[in-house]
Each structure stands twice: as C-alpha cells, then as structure tokens.
Amino acid sequence: MRLPREVVVGDGSLRLAADVCRSLGFLKSALVITGPKTIHVAGRRIIDLLQSEGLEVHCHIISSSSATLNDVKEAEEKIKAYQPQVVFGVGGGTKIDIAKLSSAYQNVPFISVPTTASHDSMASPFASIKGTGRPYSIKAQSPIAVIADTSIIMNAPYRFTASGCGDVISKITSTRDWKLAHEKRDEYYAQYTSSLASMSAKHVIDNANLIKPGSEEGVRVLLEALVSCGVAMCIAGTSKPCSGSEHLFSHALDLIAPNHGLHGEQCGLGTIMMAALHEIDWEVVRDTLRMVGAPVSAEEIGIEDKYIVEALVKAREIRPERYTILNEKPLTRKSARQLAKKTGVIN
Ligand SMILES: [Zn+2]
C-alpha cells in the first residue's frame, strides 16, 4: 500500500511547495512538468519557490492537450537527462497523468499539483494515456504528495469543478459493481476501501448546495472527496472502488461519439443510468448533479442520443474482465434506449 505522505488542501497552499519538498527530503533538484497555460497559473510560482530554497529546477512544458504515450516518452527523456530527485506534475488531468506515468517508469517520486478538480486522478496511482491500446487508465504510481490550492482551482472554469462532482458521484455505482464482482466472481473486495469511496460520493451529495461558482467551501468539499477517492485506489491497488459500469459507459462514449464531454460529465450521466440499473435511487444522483451544475442529459453535453444507446450496449466489451451490473443485466439496443429514456438522459 503506497499512500501520499503529504496532502495540502487550502487557500494559498501552493506557497507550501518548498516546505513539502523539505519535509520529504528533496533538497537538491526537481523537474516541473506543466503546460503552456498552467506554467503561468502555478508552474512558474512552484519553480520560483523551489529555486529560492536552493533547488536546481528544470521545467518541461507539454503543449499537446491530450496525454499520449509519446508525451510520456518525451518526459522520460527529460527525467533521464536532468536526474531530478522529484517530479512535479502541475496542471489539469493530462499534465498530471504524463508526470505520474513518466516518473513511475523512471523510478522517481511524484508530487501532484492540480490546477483543476475535474476528476479523481490527482491522488490516485492511475493515469489515462492515449496510445496504450486501452481506453481506460493504467497503473503508474501514487503521488508522494498532493498540493491542491483552492484559490487556483476556483479560478479555473467552473465546468471542471462540476465535472469533478460527476466523477465523485460515480462511486455510488462503482462500489456496488465492485461488491457484485466479489459476490459473483469471488474477486478481491475490501469493505473499508469501498466505504471510503462511497463516503466521498455521500460527502458531495450532502454538501451539494455548497458547490457553486465562486464557492471556496464547495471546492474544498470536492477536493476532500477527490483525494479520498484517490487514496481509496492507493489502498486497493486497483481502480475498482472508483471505476465501474458508469466508467465503462464513459470510455465507450470516448471511443464512439464524435463529441465528447469531460470525463466526469460523462461518468455522471453513466451513474444516473447505472444507478437505475442497480435499482437504487437514481434520482438523487441526477438531482445532485443538477444542483452542482453538471449535465444530466446527453443534450447538455452535446452528444447525440444514438451514441448514448450505442455506448450503453458497447460498455460491457470495453473491459471484459471487469464484472459489473452490465454483466448481470446485459443491455440490448432496446433496453438501453429504455434505460436512457426512463432516466431522462435522452429524449
Ligand atoms: Zn473517473
């Protein structure tokens, strides 16, 4: 079990970057992996802070907007060239995932500095990378520290925050799918880890009224939940507590729909429908998403209804080894359409 040793969440927590490095014994060198925009949002400040502490700091800017295996290889070359004691990933999901996987491959510890809260990768050991032949995330390494500055995340477009709520609420169904796999397939299952993940979803449901544009308190609630989800995956050593049938649906959409929503937005829609399939209260899922301003229909994301139906049918094939409610109740085109209509995801 590898867990983050330092998690700093709060207003202005970025300024503690050098303190975190010191307490972890990184006194000599660091590599900051960031993007052309996020260098200005947070990357430059991290570099300045570490340099003023006497660290030798290099910076690698990734300009592509999606994380590919090529980006990971390029980052690995920088790590080999500079030999840093620690790698910082500063940015949204893609920069963090590239930093996480390249540092894992090069056996260098990794510190996660999210500039958005759009999904639960910031504290998890998994990374989503294109070109691996798998549309879902692969094992990288747990961050040794997470520094999440609420004032920076609040300045990101609110759509990212709402999307993060979708990824957290998906634990309502992912934990049920995990339990089902245990009951039906005798797969490894840990009650404690499962509770940690579902508690994160409950935390967001209970505090949904706080999550709105301009609310620092709301961002903090969401970050606590996202970090807990990441830790649940660190403990379990698998993404199962946080990724079930609703994620398979989102991955299927990524493959077939020409227009994509954000990961968390798609998982939110998936959770509404998979909750209905699990025969639990799907309306509370939808109402929470609506309250935080996340999409609750295909139309709100800009995805045509036919792709929703197709993704529901295809979801089961994305990761055949992962047993979920979709194995228990396989969907046909007809039953998929009914499910999406009943829950209001399509018209
Ligand atoms: Zn997710």
Q: What is the whole-number distance in angstroms between the Cα of residue 84 and the centre of ligand 1? A: 30
What is the model's pTM? 0.96
Burial class (CB in 10 A: 0-12, 13-18, 19+), 202: middle
Q: Edge-to-edge strands of the sheet including 56-61?
A: 6-10, 145-149, 110-114, 86-91, 29-34, 56-61
Residues lining ligand 1 (ion), CB within 5 A? 119, 167
Triad 156, 162, 167: Cα angle to 5°: 115
Q: Hey, what amino acid is at 322?
A: R
Q: Distance, CA 167 to ligand 1 centroid (Å)?
A: 5
- d(CA 275, CA 265) in angstroms, rounded, equals 15
Phi-psi label, residue 59: left if phi above 0, alpha if psi -120 to 50, beta otherwise: beta
Q: How far is the CA of 119 from the centre of ligand 1 (A)?
A: 6
Model pLDDT for residues 166-197, shown as the tens digit of each residue: 999 999 999 999 999 999 999 999 999 999 99
Q: What tens digit of pLDDT does each residue of 276-316 get?
A: 999 999 999 999 999 999 999 999 999 999 999 999 999 99
- Cα separation, 312 vs 274, whole angstroms: 10
